[in-house]
Structure 1
Amino acid sequence: MIPAVLPTYSRAPLAFTRGEGSWLTAEDGTRYLDLGSGIAVNALGHAAPELVAVMQEQSQRLWHVSNLYRIPEQERLAELLTEHTFADTCFFTNSGTEACELAVKMARKYWSAKGDERFRILTFEGAFHGRSSAAIAAAGSEKMIGGFGPVLPGFTVLPFGDHEALKAAMAEPDVGAVLVEPIQGEGGIRPLPDVCLKGLREACDATGALLIFDEVQCGMGRTGRLFAHEWAGITPDIMMVAKGIGGGFPLGAVLATEAAAAGMGVGTHGSTYGGNPLGCAIGAKVVEIVSQPDFLAEVNRKAGLFRQGLEALVAAHPDLFEDVRGQGLILGLKMRRPPADLVAAARDEQLLTVAAADQTLRLLPALNIPDADIAEALARLERAASRLKTQ
């Protein structure tokens, strides 16, 4: 008999009743150190006092009115994002998947408004952009699209890191945009080197194609800059944001330059819940905190501390690990065996981690994780690794 909740997830046998900072408490009272953060969502940890205060205050005033009216909280968040990024304008969604849908629509509308049907969007193997029809077509993997055909046309998936394939594809006359994650999250914490990001910007500039960055997982301070692409010193034309921007509240956004958004006039897109006062009030507080230079400097310091410990773990267990991947606090352990084995072993040590593709274990702690919790996490990872070696 099918359960009341559609069985699309392979869930761990755990349920949590309370969260505080980097810790979760299970139904039986056991405390778990959380290095997943709801898959990079709880950027400021569980039940962050600053966000709780904003939610309580806003929830007593106004939750939802729809986009038929001005929403001052939405305008405030848009002003913060445009102040701190390349963007001139923002549209608010409820998720990264919805942000992907709009990014695709915006890029195609840009060319349609010019009277030029450059509809094709180039993407890369290993990518994950969500689970809508457009997002799975953009990823292109059999795991994502199997059984969901016919697949939405207009996407060409290129091999990761194949510069010649990219050069050839960019020469096609119907290519209107390139969509890429600066750091692939689900794909195994695979960063795109700065030189490649710069090369993509140059290639798009040469052909007029729009450059779309998916920073749903690697954005919002996770790399030690507000957005990952800032390390390369370049900017996109359109960017997808979600996960950490709401600090646990469902919130996403598409950021764009005025030129890239030129085709999106009244009636071209909409959302019932997107940009509601409650979500945007919380999002504004997250941006205010995460965009502070001192906060980002701390992310980088903590990342150095964490990475040093992970490098030592890899050196101590060369039979289990190949290397450490990622930047800031979006880190991965490339493994020599399925990462699910270490996820289970770590869970036995009351440590929560996340598996990814390419035999990689993801580590996505809260950006404000205390040093003591980093040390504790490393100790538990060491015990989990030792446990695996005896199995």
Structure 2
Amino acid sequence: MNAKLDAGLTTRNVTRDTFDEVLVPTYAPAAMVPVRASGLDLWDQAGKHYLDFTSGIAVTSLGHCNPALADALTQQIHKVWHLGNGYTNEQVLRLALALTEATFADRAFFCNSGAEANEAALKLARKYAHAKFGESKSRIVSCLSSFHGRTLFTVSVGGQPKYTEGFEPLPPQLSHIPYNDIEAARAAITEDVCAVIVEPIQGEGGVIPGDPEYLKALREFCDKTGALLIFDEVQSGVGRTGELFAYMGKGVTPDVLTSAKALGNGYPIGAMLTTNEIAHHFGVGTHGTTYGGNPLAATVALNVIETINQPAFLARVKEASARIFANLDKLTADFPQLFGKVRGSGLLIGLPLAEGFKGRAKDFTKACEALGLMLLIAGPDVVRLAPALIVSDEQIARADQIMREAIDAMLNDAPAK
């Protein structure tokens, strides 16, 4: 046997240093290595406990190792795992029915990630426009500071140059405009535009809610020019805002909607939802995926939708949100030198740092992590909170307590003026 394989592969000792030895360095993960989790509780290799207010970047919205989801997945594992796309399966059909019955959409396409869902949406928009108006209608408009995925196409559509540097030449016919700027949108969305893609709440760009009037203006401009309006709800969807999807609280209906992250609660699945009129332009063979809509992923997602899309559940998300916002409002009032005005929607919340502490969001999350609270950042200047939607009042209070304790570390290590 190869000497490298002598040790038991499933039991060999690994540490954070192993990451630096064998993984492509596309991430810089924390020093601790999580090994066990339940709900919002997580433990690392040393047995240290953490309160997780990240939910895997707004993914595990029903908590880690949710028992109902684990049971459903286990049952499906003993039935069928995978089928080639020459076949369908009962679970994906049930999931498609659940999503189309709950939304504006008539049709669903399933894939494995948010990037793939957005890739499908953008390809469909071009296909639709070329068939209906001709190939000259191909330009795509998106927003600066947006994030739509990491494929070459989606990362180019996203409005953050730091993610495209070194990957040139980029796909053509892409335009970027300021978020929440109606006049910039009016000028950009002309007859050659096939699609406008927008996050109803910018996530990676700083947790910035879209103004309802801005989103309504995008709808108006798209209707006028024949462009499709695509809502990227990869982060904001599946209950995160207290609505099943954020568009439902904005008074604007898109032509295409993309979803992923929380849809599978950590099991990889993405979805693109659209109407009959648009969907028929994706005929047999025009697009596809090997694993998309497989029975395992579809089973988990179906149970996620069934759990979250209940009035009482969504009402509790809004109640928990109000409690966290109240705590953060008091925190910013108590420490105005450190924090700016809290923003966001539901349980997708951004806490900007004040002028003197800009660039130090990661410092604050590290201080919280040392005290047992896991938080996110949304760029260098914004602390992001995205707890599981099942977060309790006690956990909300504990997070507030830890954040206040972490402030001492920030203030005692304040940068020189």
2:186 aligns with one of 148, 163, 167? 167
Contact map agreement 1:187 1:358 (CA 8 A) in 2: no
CA-to-aligned-CA distance 1:327-364 (integer Å, 9 cap, x gap): 10000101122201101111111110111126111100
Task: Write the distance in 2 (CA, Å) between the matches of 1:159 and 1:295.
Answer: 34
1:42 paired with 2:50, answer no
Contact map agreement 2:119 2:154 (CA 8 A) in 1: yes
1:296 paired with 2:318, answer no
Matches within 5 A, 1:240-255: 240-255=258-273
2:32 is matched by which residue type in structure 1? Answer: L
2:90 is matched by which residue type in structure 1? Answer: P
Task: Write the distance in 2 (CA, Å) between the matches of 1:140 and 1:307.
Answer: 28
Which residue is 1:190 aligned to?
208
Task: Write the distance in 2 (CA, Å) between the matches of 1:234 and 1:142.
Answer: 29
Task: Write the distance in 2 (CA, Å) between the matches of 1:162 and 1:21.
Answer: 39
1:212 paired with 2:230, answer yes
Which residue is 2:78 aligned to?
60
1:344 paired with 2:344, answer no
Contact map agreement 2:147 2:159 (CA 8 A) in 1: no
Query: Which has the higher mean CA deviation after the structures are superposed, 155-164 or 322-331?
Result: 155-164
Identical residues among aligned pairs (%): 44
In the TM superposition, what is the alpha-carbon distance from 1:66 to its structure 2 partner? 2.0
1:129 aligns with one of 148, 155, 172? 148
1:44 is matched by which residue type in structure 2? Answer: L
Q: Are the structure 2 counterparts of residues 266 and 242 from structure 1 closer, same or farther at C-alpha, using a change threshold of 3 Å? A: same
1:89 is matched by which residue type in structure 2? Answer: R
Contact map agreement 1:37 1:366 (CA 8 A) in 2: yes
TM-score (norm 1): 0.98
In the TM superposition, what is the alpha-carbon distance from 1:10 to its structure 2 partner? 1.1
Q: What SS class does the counterpart of residue 367 from structure 1 fall into? A: coil
Which residue is 2:412 aligned to?
390
Contact map agreement 1:137 1:153 (CA 8 A) in 2: no
Aligned residues: 390
In the TM superposition, what is the alpha-carbon distance from 1:111 to its structure 2 partner? 1.1
In the TM superposition, what is the alpha-carbon distance from 1:12 to its structure 2 partner? 0.8
Which residue is 2:14 aligned to?
none
1:372 is matched by which residue type in structure 2? Answer: E
Matches within 5 A, 1:100-139: 100-117=118-135, 118-139=137-158
1:317 paired with 2:339, answer no
Q: What SS class does the counterpart of residue 218 from structure 1 fall into? A: coil
Task: Write the distance in 1 (CA, Å) between the matches of 2:120 and 2:74.
Answer: 31
Contact map agreement 1:210 1:260 (CA 8 A) in 2: no
Query: Which has the higher mean CA deviation after the structures are superposed, 246-255 or 107-116?
Result: 107-116
Q: What SS class does the counterpart of residue 104 from structure 2 fall into? A: coil
Which one scores higher on RCO, CA 8 angstroms, separation ≥ 6? 1
Q: What SS class does the counterpart of residue 277 from structure 2 fall into? A: coil
Task: Write the distance in 2 (CA, Å) between the matches of 1:244 and 1:263.
Answer: 28
Contact map agreement 1:334 1:358 (CA 8 A) in 2: no
1:237 paired with 2:259, answer no
Query: Which has the higher mean CA deviation after the structures are superposed, 350-359 or 35-44?
Result: 350-359
CA-based RMSD of the aligned residues comes to 1.2
Larger radius of gyration: 2
In the TM superposition, what is the alpha-carbon distance from 1:115 to its structure 2 partner? 4.6
Which residue is 1:143 aligned to?
162
Which residue is 2:385 aligned to?
363
Which residue is 1:258 aligned to?
276
